[in-house]
Amino acid sequence: MPAEISGGTIQSRALDYCQDLLDIVDFHGAERDHIKFTGYTDPFLPTRYPVTEVFSAVFGALGTVANRIGYLKNGRVQEISVNTDHASMAIMSHILPSVNGVSIPEYVQKLAETYGSNHKTPCENPLTGLFRTKDNRWVHFLASFDPHPTLKILGVDGSKFTDAISARDVIEEKTLQWNSFELEDALAAAGACGCAVRTTEEFLATEQGKEIHKHLPIEVQKICDAPKLHLPPGKRILEGVKVLELCRVIAGPTTTRTLAEYGAQVLKVSSPYLRDVDVLAVDGNSGKRSCFLDLKSEEGKKQLTELVKDCDVFVQGYRHRSMEHLGFTFDDVKRIKGSNGFVYLTVNCYGNAGPWIDRPGWEQLAQAVTGMATVQGGSPNTPCLLPMTLSDYLTGYAGALGVIAALLKRAEEGGSYLVQTSLVQLDLYVISKGLYSAAVGKKLMALYPPFHYYEGTHIHCLHLLQQLQKDRPYLFNGIFEVTPGPLGEVKHMKPVVQMPETPLYFSSPTRNFGVDKAEWV
């Protein structure tokens, strides 16, 4: 079991974790002494994990490395601050915005009514969730984008479902005919998304767990030499830096949205034929431009190749084999860019090595496989997901930290850099920081309505948000701003990191997928 957290405050632990993360990305500058954390001193989120501290630490580390870049550009070191209450809200920033005064849950419903069921959140799928198996264990299916392979394995005809409750009853009955690990193997063989629920110790004993345990949660590796490439001039930290994003849903898009906060020009490249979650564009596309390219066509590949020639950062959130098939691995990008140094970030669920490298996975599976769900639920017999989008957002911000650290290295040392991280690696990092005592955890959980295993993460997040709005309204004071744009008046969360001389902001409003041209501006 993880060590028990004792003593100190949220802010003191956040500072400790921040220094740890700076060590991980190999940053040792004097700017480490110019970060401070403020906010409510005791935990208030419904979990035994030190979520507020770790999120605050990642933001602090981001600001610290950015402070060094600012020093190189203008010769001044800033006093950086992170409010830990504000940082806590980053665990669910996808449900915080409103569009023309309409909250995100209401906005989802309006999209469904206007455009049809393809615009509903895929979390409504009754196949996505925790289910008990014959060996008295649990599995988690995630069939948000394509339920058919999982339904086929279970022998279920999805066309006969009339409502979510009856559908879940049928799925529960079929799942009880399987042993958990045999079902996990069948899902993996079919390319379906799901896993057996494990304790942390069980996961670390798997071949994948053993492989992941060899790696840092954020890896920044210099792969090849290249001339020093100083960051472009400009008042903003990443002004002039060009970032290509090939990602879906939350983790990778959070990385690039964060880079946009610091001034980078971000171009999101999506497939016109691969489904994403439309409502996530409200939060995830802030500060970006967004285009469609069919990378399975020669014309699409040609267009992306031209964009790569001028990019500084290439961020991809697909499985390793996908980039090999498309021809845009690190080595492919290196060939396109020639002698110019660049940063290549890869983000996925299970890590970048090991037998699970090409398994599909998302937030819920990372929590389930790493033992987080068993701790949150109280025991392996009663797993429950954390009521927050922890894995995705933490990985996204950690990826941004790795990219900014690599851009700094490119400026000071030269070279091209591979940055790697994953949902599972960041979950294990949180786990490594220990747990609040069982007594503290019980008090925290008592502050909220019960979270049930059969409810989706989106339901948990909404319940958490509603309770925080009721009991802790101060958390929401001053953390929002309103930006007009193509979607209308969008109220969204302000950047967390406070840099007085180079404030963070989005230079362009959020927008839908694929509305821009595939070009730099």
pTM over 0.85? The answer is: yes
The secondary structure element, H or E, covering residue 273 is none
Cα first-last separation, the chain: 51
Q: Are residues 373 and 404 in the same domain?
A: yes
pLDDT of residue 454: 84
Which whole-number Å values give the CA distances from 226 to 332, 340, 459, in the listed order? Answer: 16, 6, 48
Whose CA is closest to 355, among 216, 217, 204, 211? Answer: 211
Q: Are residues 219 and 362 in the same domain?
A: yes
Q: Does the residue 67 lie in any domain?
A: yes
pLDDT above 70 coverage of the chain, percent = 96
- Average pLDDT on 46-53 reads 98
Per-residue pLDDT band at 117 (split at 50, 70, 90): very low
pLDDT tens-digit readout, 70-80: 999 989 999 99
Alpha carbon distance 78, 499 (integer Å): 7
User: Which residues make beta-bridge pairs with 435?
Assistant: 4
Q: Does the residue 4 lie in any domain?
A: no
Token pair in block for residue 493: 């969360």
pLDDT tens-digit readout, 490-520: 999 999 999 999 999 999 999 999 999 999 9
Domain count, the chain: 2
Alpha carbon distance 24, 401 (integer Å): 10
Alpha carbon distance 234, 22 (integer Å): 25
Q: Are residues 219 and 198 in the same domain?
A: no
Instruction: Specify the CATH number for the domain of residue 393.
Output: 3.40.50.10540
Q: Are residues 91 and 138 in the same domain?
A: no
Token pair in block for residue 447: 């502050």
pLDDT tens-digit readout, 457-475: 888 888 999 999 999 999 9
Per-residue pLDDT band at 110 (split at 50, 70, 90): low
- Average pLDDT on 356-377 reads 95
Q: Are residues 191 and 268 in the same domain?
A: no
pLDDT tens-digit readout, 183-232: 999 999 999 999 999 999 999 999 999 999 999 999 999 999 999 998 88
Alpha carbon distance 499, 236 (integer Å): 10
- Whether 158 has a pLDDT exceeding 80, the answer reads no
- Average pLDDT on 440-447 reads 95
Do strands 219-224 and 416-422 pair parallel, antiparallel, or not at all (unpaired)?
antiparallel
Q: Does the residue 519 lie in any domain?
A: no
Q: What region, left, alpha or beta, does residue 31 occupy, with left being phi > 0 and alpha being psi -120 to 50 degrees?
A: alpha
Q: Which of residues 190, 208, 226 is at a domain's end?
A: 208
Q: Are residues 350 and 454 in the same domain?
A: yes
Contact status, residue 35 vs residue 75, Cβ threshold 8 Å: no
Contact status, residue 470 vs residue 39, Cβ threshold 8 Å: no
Token pair in block for residue 396: 């996204």
pLDDT tens-digit readout, 118-148: 333 333 467 889 999 999 999 999 887 788 8
Q: Are residues 198 and 313 in the same domain?
A: no
Q: Does the residue 413 lie in any domain?
A: yes
Q: Does the residue 164 lie in any domain?
A: yes
Q: Which of residues 154, 186, 208 is at a domain's end?
A: 208
Who has greater pLDDT, 462 or 255? Answer: 255
Q: Does the residue 514 lie in any domain?
A: no
- Average pLDDT on 103-119 reads 56
Token pair in block for residue 100: 């023309």
For 117, counting Cβ atoms within 10 Å of its Cβ (0-12 exposed, 13-18 middle, 19+ buried), the class is exposed
For 479-513, b/e burial (b = at least 16 CB within 10 A) is beeebeeebeebbbbbbbbbbeebebebebbbbeb
- Average pLDDT on 301-319 reads 96
Rg (CA), the chain: 22
Alpha carbon distance 326, 456 (integer Å): 33
pLDDT of residue 118: 38
Q: Are residues 20 and 125 in the same domain?
A: no
For 298, counting Cβ atoms within 10 Å of its Cβ (0-12 exposed, 13-18 middle, 19+ buried), the class is exposed
Q: Are residues 239 and 374 in the same domain?
A: yes
Which whole-number Å values give the CA distances from 458 to 73, 105, 122, 125, 361, in the listed order? Answer: 42, 10, 10, 12, 17
- Whether 320 has a pLDDT exceeding 50, the answer reads yes
Alpha carbon distance 375, 367 (integer Å): 10
Who has greater pLDDT, 434 or 107? Answer: 434
Query: Which of 87-96, 145-154, 200-209, 470-479 has the least mean pLDDT?
Result: 145-154
Per-residue pLDDT band at 1 (split at 50, 70, 90): low
Q: Which of residues 208, 229, 258 is at a domain's end?
A: 208
Alpha carbon distance 319, 350 (integer Å): 10
Token pair in block for residue 519: 């070009």
- Average pLDDT on 235-246 reads 96
Q: Does the residue 128 lie in any domain?
A: yes
- Average pLDDT on 147-156 reads 90
pLDDT of residue 232: 86
pLDDT of residue 2: 76
Q: Are residues 230 and 349 in the same domain?
A: yes
How many C-beta atoms lie closer than 10 Å to residue 407's C-beta? 28
- Whether 233 has a pLDDT exceeding 90, the answer reads no
Alpha carbon distance 69, 503 (integer Å): 14
pLDDT of residue 113: 52
Q: Does the residue 344 lie in any domain?
A: yes
Contact status, residue 385 vs residue 364, Cβ threshold 8 Å: yes
- The residue range of the domain holding 275 is 10-113+209-498
pLDDT of residue 133: 97
Q: Are residues 314 and 289 in the same domain?
A: yes
pLDDT of residue 116: 41
Per-residue pLDDT band at 107 (split at 50, 70, 90): low
